[in-house]
Amino acid sequence: MRERAHILVCGGTGCVSGQSKLIMDEFKKEAAALGIEQEIKLIFTGCFGLCAKGPIVVIYPEGAFYGPVSVSDVKEIVSEHILKGRIVTRLLGTDTCEKGVNKSIAESAFYKSQQRIVLKNCGLIDPEDIDEYLAYDGYSAYEKAVTQMMRQQVIDCIKASGLRGRGGGGFLTGLKWQFCLEAKGKQKYVVCNADEGDPGAFMDRSILEGDPQSIIEAMMIAGYAVGSDKGYVYVRAEYPIAVSRLDIAIKQARAYGILGKNAMGLGHAFDIEIRLGAGAFVCGEETALLRSIEGKRGEPRQRPPFPAVKGLFDKPTLINNVETLGNIPQIILNGAEWFAAIGTEKSRGTKVFALGGKINNTGLVEIPMGTTLRTVIEEIGGGIPNGKKFKAAQTGGPSGGCIPASHIDTPIDYDNLIALGSMMGSGGLIVMDEENCMVDIAKFYLEFTEEESCGKCTPCRIGNKRLYEILERISEGKGELSDLDKLEQLSHYIKDNSLCGLGQTAPNPVLSTLKYFRDEYVAHVRDKKCPAGVCKALVSYTIIPEKCIGCTLCKRVCPVDAIIGELKGKHVIDTAKCIKCDACVGACKKGAISK
């Protein structure tokens, strides 16, 4: 029987939290009630990327992109679109709808500047069905590597591609594989780092949720290349959907004879185990991660020796993060030249970013290296909400820095970001507008890294605490101009003397905000004022008499009765009572309250 439609419902964490499972169940219920369950194919797939429009439903062959969809919308979609062939234009996502006319996803503003390599199967296949992965050339890359290439040829291919590690450091992937191949030892390990700890980052999680078989295949290729028969995936326990789908994928691969003593019958043994992390940010650092797998306290160790020489259980270990591995099958299938032609001279390929903050189109994007920040923010991201101005973008999470609006046309690649005082990191990209205080932003990230420090080395354990204390004084109006010099001096000391990457990069948010937004620091210290009105100790609320109409809205929402005034009379704020909760500002429709 010819199918009427393929209905893909987003099964990523964000959409699941928006009841996409119930939407899936409702489609099944409606189809059964109409007797058309055999005429449609329902797929609970991975993340489509445009999380701002979730829960998302995409229906083929038309490619209609619906979002956000609620359970109550399902009946109309089935009756109108599935039965009558009429697209429900009111539910079309704004990025795929122009004057009520459906456009393909590829034509939409959100997707047209992207190039999906790592995410190519996410939102397209059922991640819990290995047959769908096989239908999209799944495991063809492994078969090609084992049957047509020697181990060194595989590594040479990865080298020639120019692929750099997507986990933060940007080290050449092929070179890391070469070191592990040349390391002496009968037992070697391949480890996938899925301990994604940056605030706002969910790239690795989405890949594991939407295309787990691709990571298994990549680890098998890596195992063949370096001479390993054992792999581990270290994944955060806070990612239950990713863990579940990865577990299903591993079991299905074993059942098909893909994983095991004779992988795919090609003579190479390889198997994978999952290890759950308990949420320690420092375990994203490779040596701390390996210690955690061993059952030890997750603390970094001195390098060298590097894991490629002495890693897990003191054996040579190849460790790459999820996104890095996600590129491997495509490079083997399409060739190093194909991959190297994408991106820039020193930053080949694409990069996946978790786009969040003050941006209309929050979500997951994959762009060629060298794409400008402007393209990401204005075209893909849809600009800043509520007519606000773009102020800065934080890349690299707590380890990165803030890029000001003056550098919005900077091409995004490893070297350009480092030159600006930031870094690629794992791929978080947080957008800020004029209402963000940069002193507060620096304090937020530093508080995170201070809490997540393992405490093993003094520069990180004590130095970051002192940095945070200085920032706290400044945000409370107790700072001095000399504190700005202290922040810079201490930051450079921490960067130069910390044991691992967490400590070495922790001061980046402080240094970058000092570099580009020093005037805000000076305003906090000298003028005792927060220009963005964020730091409560430096904010005072007043009602502008000329604008106040005596509506009493502000008075009614004040939780501490700090607003005095009668109906149709002028109101005033008792600053002694005011707790600076901002409720009155949100309630006032005339903009009569200033801070």
The domain limits of the chain are 5-105, 130-339, 350-433, 438-525, 540-594
pLDDT of residue 102: 61
Model confidence pTM above 0.85: yes
Confidence band for 501, pLDDT divided at 50, 70 and 90: confident
> pLDDT, tens digit, for every residue of 310-320?
999 999 999 99
For residues 26 and 43, what is the distance between their CA atoms, to the nearest angstrom? 13
- CATH top class, domain 438-525: mainly alpha
For residues 222 and 218, what is the distance between their CA atoms, to the nearest angstrom? 6
- What mean pLDDT comes out for the span 288-309? 93
Place of tokens 């200033």: 594
Backbone angles phi, psi at 345, to 5 degrees: -60, -40
DSSP 114: -
In this structure, the strands spanning 350-357 and 428-433 are parallel
**In degrees to the nearest 10, what's the CA dihedral of 148, 151, 157, 163?**
140
In this structure, the strands spanning 428-433 and 390-395 are antiparallel
Q: Residue 583 pLDDT more than 70?
A: yes
In this structure, the strands spanning 542-543 and 390-395 are unpaired
The two three-digit tokens of residue 594, written as one number = 């200033």
Q: How far, in Å, are 27, 114, 273, 367 from residue 49 at the CA level?
A: 22, 11, 28, 12
pLDDT of residue 274: 98
> pLDDT, tens digit, for every residue of 401-458?
999 999 999 999 999 999 998 888 878 899 999 999 999 999 999 999 999 888 899 9
For residues 388 and 366, what is the distance between their CA atoms, to the nearest angstrom? 25
Q: Residue 99 pLDDT more than 90?
A: no
Contact 197, 204 (CB under 8 A): no
Q: Residue 169 pLDDT more than 90?
A: no
Confidence band for 574, pLDDT divided at 50, 70 and 90: very high
Strand stretches in 324-409, DSSP E: 350-357, 363-368, 390-395, 401-404
Q: Which residues pair with 372 in a beta bridge?
A: 411
pLDDT of residue 121: 97
> pLDDT, tens digit, for every residue of 44-81?
999 999 999 999 999 999 889 999 999 999 999 999 99
pLDDT of residue 424: 87
Architecture of the structural domain at 5-105: 3-Layer(aba) Sandwich (3.40)
The two three-digit tokens of residue 149, written as one number = 């290439």
Lowest mean pLDDT among 141-150, 151-160, 499-508: 499-508
The length of the chain, given as a count of residues? 595
Fold of 350-433: Ubiquitin-like (UB roll) (3.10.20)
Q: Is 142 exposed, middle or buried (0-12, 13-18, 19+ CB in 10 A)?
A: buried
Lowest mean pLDDT among 99-113, 208-222, 443-457, 513-527: 99-113
Q: What percent of the chain has pLDDT over 70?
A: 98
pLDDT of residue 426: 78
pLDDT of residue 94: 64
DSSP 422: -
| Closest CA relative to residue 69, chosen from 28, 8, 123, 126 | 8
| Closest CA relative to residue 212, chosen from 46, 75, 72 | 46
For residues 488 and 514, what is the distance between their CA atoms, to the nearest angstrom? 8
Q: Residue 467 pLDDT more than 80?
A: yes
For residues 493 and 549, what is the distance between their CA atoms, to the nearest angstrom? 55
| CATH classification number, 130-339, choose in 3.40.50.2000, 3.40.50.300, 3.40.50.1980, 3.40.50.11540 | 3.40.50.11540
| Closest CA relative to residue 239, chosen from 213, 271, 274 | 274
| Closest CA relative to residue 238, chosen from 208, 203, 212, 277 | 277
Task: Describe the crossing of helices 322-334 and 140-148 by its angle, rounded to 10 degrees.
Answer: 60
Confidence band for 590, pLDDT divided at 50, 70 and 90: very high
- What mean pLDDT comes out for the span 144-148? 97
| CATH classification number, 540-594, choose in 3.30.70.20, 3.40.640.10, 3.40.920.10, 3.40.50.720 | 3.30.70.20
| Closest CA relative to residue 6, chosen from 69, 72, 81 | 81
Contact 151, 188 (CB under 8 A): no
Contact 337, 163 (CB under 8 A): no
Contact 344, 164 (CB under 8 A): no
- What mean pLDDT comes out for the span 377-398? 93
For residues 122 and 114, what is the distance between their CA atoms, to the nearest angstrom? 14
Looking at per-residue confidence, does 178 or 581 come out higher?
A: 178
Q: Residue 97 pLDDT more than 60?
A: no
